[in-house]
Amino acid sequence: MVRPECFLPAMDFILLPFGEFFMLNLPFFLPLPMRTVWRVSKYLFRYRGLFLLTMLLAVLSTLALVSIPKVVQHILQDVIARAAPGQLSKGIALIVLLYFLRDFFTSIRIRVNNLLEQKVLLDLRRDVHTKLLDLPVSFYDQRKSGEISSRVVDDVANVERVLLDGTEQGIIAVVTIFGIGIMLWRENPLLAICAMTPLPILYAWGIEHARRANKRWKRLREAASDLNSLLVEDIQGNRLIQTFGLQEHESRRFMKKAITLRNATLEAMFSWATYGPGTNFVTNLGLVAIIGVSSWMMSMNPDSFSFPQLVAFVMYAGLLYEPVGQLHQINQWISQGRASGERVFEILDHPVEICSPAHPRPLPRGALGARFDHVTFAYAGRPAVLENFSLDIPAGKVTALVGHTGAGKSTVANLVMRAYDATAGRVLLGGIDVRELDLRELHAKVGFVAQDPFLFEGTVAENLRLVNAMVSEQEMVAALEGAAAWDFVRALPQGLDTNIGEKGIRLSQGEKQRLTIARVLLKNPPFIILDEATASVDTITERQIQRALENLMRERSVLVVAHRLSTVRKADNIVVLHHGRILEQGTHAELLAAQGRYASLWEHQVDLIDEREELPTA
């Protein structure tokens, strides 16, 4: 269930191009809902001054350009015909000035537009990234990381290009067409009709092309995302690919997706190869009509239409058809932008199902206990993992969850951290329903050590300072000592300032795990969750991590999720789960004496290490 307070004002993000506003009135475009226009205009006018300046410069540049044919007509009709050579140099100078002004205004417009473009692009990517950080874990459960990154980088760039270039060039084209259309009509209505004759044909063709192109570009963007996802997967799994000799297998997968992308690209390009030249041909038919009709008029009555008028009219017609061609190109961009916009809108419009309440309750100070009160939970499209589940996790005690894979252990941990919300029942922390807590406070009071430790690219110190940017070097050393990690960190080439690579690739699994424990020690939360923190290391490394965990668990409430029973035998309460239900619970000794499921699991443990055995600390 999506909580009402989760619908934030951020849902008014704008993505599709403001230039599509003109679809409502012009040929070559398809009408869009006013909702999209409203969102686009709100977004674009964050920088109203830059946008209006760009439009003003575009209009000035266009006015300079459309004035040139009139000056040429004046030179041919008044200067040359009347043999006034003194005026010729002035006329030529005026044409040079008009061309200079056009290019001068264009140069400034490009600079202003580039600044506006980068501001919008930065805001757009920031908004999408911010939304991604707020989306629930369930969103990422159903999508590939490469596909999401493709939407943030490629699709946002496509939308941004249509948003600004489409807006700018669309307005220029519209102003030019209307301005020149008026001038053509004033010069000669019959020839103006000839010039406008191709437009209805282009209108119908543009509608049909846009309808088909949208589907083609959507397939292309999906194919590009699939290929990007495969690349990310191959980069992340490079060691596995080399170890298992999967190069040929992955090459075949890559080529299959690359060919799909190639075919989708060619389909879109071939469509444009017909539409672009075809519209140019239809446009040129108007120019042919102008020349034919004007020649007939001059032959029938030379006084009705002069040669200088013909030259000016042909120049105006050329200026008319140039923006028409631009509108065809914008139509192509809009097809691309609409396909990309739909993919980005899916992110921006996705409901934030896990969010802070409007009026959160504060957590009490000191140790925090947790309680599951008749909780039922099921992942989307799957049977219930927990059903009518109740459990007390006392404050200041260590509670361990054991059981087979899929028993619901990690789900219990996720519900405490509110990665998901319970389908029914309540999860309480410090006596307060977690849905009534501010998420920032909840996450600040809960520390988490996962089975697969995650470290960011950067130095050891930068990874430790994630929990507190102001932490001192002495505090970092103390945390590393408490995590049994200082000895190996000190031995690194630059110590705390050593770059550990992406995901800590330059460290062993045990070293990475101890760094994450040091990070939680620096955070110093009252409630700790250890989710199979030693499951992916050998038993020698496990013992080193166990020493670090013992320091971490002092005077804190701890929830331990474990497969290896050696990590939970000192717990105050061990809970045995089976298919989301509690089979038995008690201390290690009590459960062994009960000769139940736990005792059976204990008998099959073969990787225990004598605690009296001295092991190296690094």
Measure the CA–CA gap between 319 and 208, rounded to whole angstroms.
Answer: 26
CATH of the domain at 430: 3.40.50.300
Measure the CA–CA gap between 399 and 575, rounded to whole angstroms.
Answer: 7
Measure the CA–CA gap between 322 and 245, rounded to whole angstroms.
Answer: 56
For residues 564-598, b (16+ Cβ closer than 10 Å) or e, as one string? bbbbbbbbebbbbbeebebebbbebeebeeeeebb
- pLDDT the model gives residue 611: 42
**Quick one: 442 and 304 in the same domain?**
no
Measure the CA–CA gap between 83 and 153, rounded to whole angstroms.
Answer: 63
- With contact defined as beta carbons under 8 Å apart, do 84 and 75 qualify? no
- pLDDT the model gives residue 131: 85
Could you tell me if residue 360 is inside a domain?
no
Q: Of 348, 380, 399, which residue constitutes the final position of a domain?
A: 348
- pLDDT the model gives residue 5: 43
Could you tell me if residue 47 is inside a domain?
yes
Per-residue pLDDT band at 239 (split at 50, 70, 90)? low
- pLDDT the model gives residue 573: 92
Single-letter amino acid code for the residue at 283: T
- With contact defined as beta carbons under 8 Å apart, do 98 and 64 qualify? yes
DSSP 9: G
**What's the rounded mean pLDDT across residues 357-371?**
89
268 versus 375: the higher-pLDDT residue is: 375
- pLDDT the model gives residue 104: 93
**Quick one: 183 and 306 in the same domain?**
yes
Could you tell me if residue 32 is inside a domain?
yes
363 versus 156: the higher-pLDDT residue is: 363
Q: Of 313, 348, 383, which residue constitutes the final position of a domain?
A: 348
Single-letter amino acid code for the residue at 183: M
Comparing 74-78, 437-441, 591-595, the range with the smallest average pLDDT is 74-78
Q: How far is CA 579 from CA 385, 398, 560, 565, 583, in A?
A: 7, 22, 18, 19, 10
**Quick one: 316 and 390 in the same domain?**
no
Give every strand in the sheet of 446-449, ordered side by side: 446-449, 527-531, 557-561, 398-402, 573-578, 581-586
Q: Quote the mean pLDDT of the chain.
A: 78
Could you tell me if residue 362 is inside a domain?
no
- pLDDT the model gives residue 392: 93
Could you tell me if residue 79 is inside a domain?
yes
Q: Which two tokens stand for residue 262?
A: 């190639």
**Quick one: 214 and 172 in the same domain?**
yes
> What ranges make up the beta strands (E) of 485-526?
none
Could you tell me if residue 4 is inside a domain?
no
Could you tell me if residue 363 is inside a domain?
no
Sign of CA dihedral 262, 263, 265, 266: positive
**Quick one: 341 and 381 in the same domain?**
no
Q: Give a three-class secondary structure readout of 428-452.
A: EECCEEHHHCCHHHHHHHEEEECCC
**Quick one: 63 and 124 in the same domain?**
yes
Measure the CA–CA gap between 6 and 457, rounded to whole angstroms.
Answer: 32
Measure the CA–CA gap between 177 and 45, rounded to whole angstroms.
Answer: 25
**pLDDT digits over 545-604, tens only?**
677 677 667 778 889 888 777 778 888 899 999 888 899 999 988 988 888 888 888 877
By C-alpha distance, which of 582, 258, 616 is closest to 392? 582
Measure the CA–CA gap between 265 and 493, rounded to whole angstroms.
Answer: 48
Share of the chain above pLDDT 70, in %: 82
By C-alpha distance, which of 460, 450, 457, 162 is closest to 330? 162
- Whether the per-residue pLDDT at 157 is higher than 70: the answer is yes
Measure the CA–CA gap between 48 and 103, rounded to whole angstroms.
Answer: 24
CATH of the domain at 162: 1.20.1560.10
Q: Are strands 557-561 and 573-578 parallel, antiparallel or unpaired?
A: unpaired
Q: Which two tokens stand for residue 320?
A: 């008319």
- With contact defined as beta carbons under 8 Å apart, do 393 and 369 qualify? yes
329 versus 173: the higher-pLDDT residue is: 173
Q: Which residues make Cβ contacts (< 8 Å) with residue 189, sequence separation at least 6?
A: none
- pLDDT the model gives residue 539: 63
What kind and span of H or E run contains 146? Answer: helix 145-150
What is the Cα gyration radius of the chain? 35
Cβ-based burial of 232 (10 A; exposed 0-12, middle 13-18, buried ≥19): middle
Per-residue pLDDT band at 426 (split at 50, 70, 90)? very high
- pLDDT the model gives residue 538: 60
**Quick one: 385 and 508 in the same domain?**
yes
The Cβ-side half-sphere exposure at 281, using a 13 Å CA radius, reads 7
**Quick one: 193 and 336 in the same domain?**
yes
For residues 126-146, b (16+ Cβ closer than 10 Å) or e, as one string? ebbeebbebbbeebeeeebeb
Q: Are strands 370-378 and 384-393 parallel, antiparallel or unpaired?
A: antiparallel
Per-residue pLDDT band at 606 (split at 50, 70, 90)? very low
Measure the CA–CA gap between 95 and 66, rounded to whole angstroms.
Answer: 11
Tell me the longest C-alpha to C-alpha distance in the chain. 122
- pTM for this one? 0.65
**Quick one: 410 and 538 in the same domain?**
yes
Q: Which two tokens stand for residue 524?
A: 């110093």
**Quick one: 386 and 331 in the same domain?**
no
Cα of first residue to Cα of last residue in the chain, in angstroms, is 47
The Cβ-side half-sphere exposure at 149, using a 13 Å CA radius, reads 11
Sign of CA dihedral 25, 28, 33, 39: negative
Question: For residue 246, how far is the Cα from the chain centroid?
Answer: 30
**Quick one: 339 and 387 in the same domain?**
no
Total number of domains constituting the chain = 2
**Quick one: 344 and 375 in the same domain?**
no
Residue 530 DSSP SS3: strand
Q: Of 317, 348, 379, which residue constitutes the final position of a domain?
A: 348
**pLDDT digits over 85-144, tens only?**
667 778 788 889 998 998 999 899 888 888 887 887 788 788 888 888 888 777 777 777
**pLDDT digits over 451-468, tens only?**
777 888 889 898 888 888
Measure the CA–CA gap between 112 and 478, rounded to whole angstroms.
Answer: 53
Q: Which two tokens stand for residue 485?
A: 């990690």
Could you tell me if residue 41 is inside a domain?
yes
The length of the chain is: 618
Domain encompassing residue 491 = 370-603
What is the residue-wise DSSP string for 299-333?
Answer: HH-TTTS-HHHHHHHHHHHHHHHHHHHHHHHHHHH
Q: Residue holding tokens 């993505």?
A: 15
- Whether the per-residue pLDDT at 613 is higher than 50: the answer is no
**pLDDT digits over 7-56, tens only?**
433 333 333 333 333 333 333 333 443 444 455 556 677 888 888 898 88
Single-letter amino acid code for the residue at 298: M
- pLDDT the model gives residue 379: 85
What residues are paired with 426 via a beta bridge?
Answer: 373
Cβ-based burial of 255 (10 A; exposed 0-12, middle 13-18, buried ≥19): exposed
- Whether the per-residue pLDDT at 152 is higher than 90: the answer is no
**What's the rounded mean pLDDT across residues 154-168?**
72
- Whether the per-residue pLDDT at 145 is higher than 90: the answer is no
- pLDDT the model gives residue 310: 75
Question: For residue 457, how far is the Cα from the chain centroid?
Answer: 20
Q: Which residues make Cβ contacts (< 8 Å) with residue 263, sequence separation at least 6?
A: none
